[in-house]
Structure 1
């Protein structure tokens, strides 16, 4: 029995080993891979299988070694090997290098400034090795030649030669003037005196000016292409004279050869050379006249200092607010506070003819006063008068209580209350509600409502 037991045990071991080897291996956890490119938008492949455009995030990627590739038109394809472990999350970035072309820029004559896409790159002949594939704008410029624009198209790394012949930008002008000797300016640059020939002018719009003292400046604009020329014969127009008339005082009436031209100061333009009779006049001053000679293109100023032909009067009254008449015609009212017994502000009366004049000063409640004065030419006569107060009632007030008051109305306030001077220096205040009738004494037919 012991011998059998030993024989059975090895068989059991072999069976168990056979069963164990037949059981499946446990599953491996997938990895996760994020693929980025610079620039984005490249086509991404993993192990040769297209996985879309970057950026790409791939899940369930078997843990293993993978080949990642990215391609984008105009860029060199980028490749990278990535080893992914079980359950790993990895990110791979593929920078893409642009494919650049080769170009040689030539010009005739050489030495032109070459601009590429608006940036200065040097002078021709110019070798360019860093331009990306595609179209590029080339501009060639050189003093004395027209600017030329070209298009450079780079499709691959095959060298491209781009050449251009520059066209001269100069034109020519043959210039004369009537009369001769005018100063010539072309495009803002002095070129001597007419007649003259001006060459090496840049093609395009050209501005020509001819100037001579006493004549209007001749201006002409034209367009010339490279190699063209133009003849200009400028007939200069004489400049008329100009006369400015100023006077002291101003606002004088100005006459030229007895024709009214306006009030000073005045500027008279477009006058032909010759002699002119200028006359100025203003109220209160002696008129003046003189003969003025004007030359061609001359700008002349004539000044007239006028002398007073009359006088003036300065009047001060006590009290203020008095009416003033000169020879029976009202001339004004003295200013100042109406209740101020002191002197008024001066009242100036101008344009008074020289000689004897009667001044009448009057104010309600005061006796009028008349004085005779003498006014000198160009002088000022002062009058300082004090009026005598007189008590002359001008208002009658009848009250509700039956009383009647007569006196000088001094004030009516905003509530309608009356302040009446019933005797010299004696005032009576009558409330509005007590006023039945108020009448002006000088005209009893006009009554004011209570």
Structure 2
């Protein structure tokens, strides 16, 4: 089997806070203001890598007992958290860090805090690690506790005055033959040097060895420290044991022990405290009624205690109070182990007598007889009275799954372990299989999980739940509900876009308990409310168009931005604006005008106005707002009027430019000839002359030309006069004709083109040359 050299750290942290000008003897101890975390690790899970320790659990248990002693102790039992590898709460990395977090929440500056650690430590590189029970040397970062982290977590605990008591450092069994705990690492000693407001009591000087005492079952230093914690060492007779008195007492006795054994070990005290602190109450003076106790522990624990033949109804570890000095018979029994019996003598100078025997297993090495006796083993796993599948281990070896049955089990003692999922604690039991009998094991797996709820304001935040090695275990979005999460210490990390990340929360999940974490995010954004006069201006925010005023920009990250406003016919506005966390900033902006006014009123009404060749409207033109500048303008009224054109119309900001006038008519002419001549000329029914005639200065327009002459038919045609044109029209007029109409009988009505023109006989004279329709003659009514 391979072992790695390590050293053990036995650290006790006492934190006291006192007022000024109060003597030590006068200080009243309030046990309700005292808390303790006591850690002792003898057996490590990685047995192939890390040596077991002999007295670490004994040291931790003894310190706990001394602190709660009825006469000399200064702590309440329910204010002490005990983590040992034989206690219900094991000293795993998660449990240790979780208990430190609990103390951070429970304690106040005026409280007293004690932390005791007894177990292996391990230096690697520039860091020193405390090794919890589940430590792995190959992955120290994730499974051990760096001393820097240890110090940080303790520093976060509110106690203002702290005393560190260090019982040397185990060497992990490298010097087993010497019976020592190894040399104090100078690197470690420097790393735990007391800052302001702290004191450090160490078991030995650097490079010395801290030894163990086989007789007492403790380290030599702890042996004599326990004497002071149980009331010895009151040098000045003030009925309390102070840190300085304890240091003097322990130093003298450890050095004396070393002198007798031919060894060197010198405890020493380094302190930056301004006042001494109380560690224990002195023993009662002689003659005062006193009780005595027997501190009984076993390896393994849980043995029944029988005192002088009477069942005490208690199991180890335990302090059994006795009324007087004398000899007491102790019997200890535990299934699967040989019974233990012994006697204890209590004298006047002894208050608490410790005994801590290691129970011997029932002999399994005796050769089996030729015909081996066997029994039946039946194992099932239950969760809330419901059978489940689980792995079955016998003496550390997996043999199957539940429900497990073996009818050929040799009749002897076995260690049974039933392992379900990681969400349930393993079940362990020592059983004896008897010949021809059935041994039933009902493994009720207890939950190793709790419930976690994480909420935030606002909600929909990202949540990561990390273990203490920063491995993500679960997550999602708030509100997050995790119905089953392994009992452990976790860091809850929350993030939400545009909000400050809150400090990671440490939560301790305990079996069967519900934990709720609620976080209120602090925004790292603000809100802009942008208005303008006039409204409907385009908003350019940090180079991007966001819309038109009035405009609200929400959730804008805090900082400086470029804001621009643009509106037609107004000057652009630009500035740098700042928004702060949670701010609602209103920005009203008045945009200066940037236009002039153009008015156009030309006759004839309805003339079309073009600006820069773009149609603008018709006259009279309503006032038009234009950007300052030079424009070309043209007014048109079709092909009958001459256009009015302006190459440079200047529009100035704030001024009105007015253009008005009358468009000139276009002029033309025509020469009118006729055959025969001297025919009357009519334009649109108005006489304009006699042929031949040159008609000039006529408005360009469409006309109706008519020629009339006595004895000739009228001549009519359309005439279009164009600007600057003088065409000629030569017309031959047709003479009028006569028609004589007879009928038999006479006096018939004459109709020409449906119009009655007389009765027969009749001559129709001066008819215009044309085709006519002569209707049938009708007899006259007369």
Which TM bucket (shorter chain)? 0.3 to 0.5
Which one has a larger percent helix, Structure 1 or Structure 2? 2
TM-score when scaled to structure 2? 0.24
More strand by share: 1
TM-score w.r.t. the length of structure 1 is 0.38
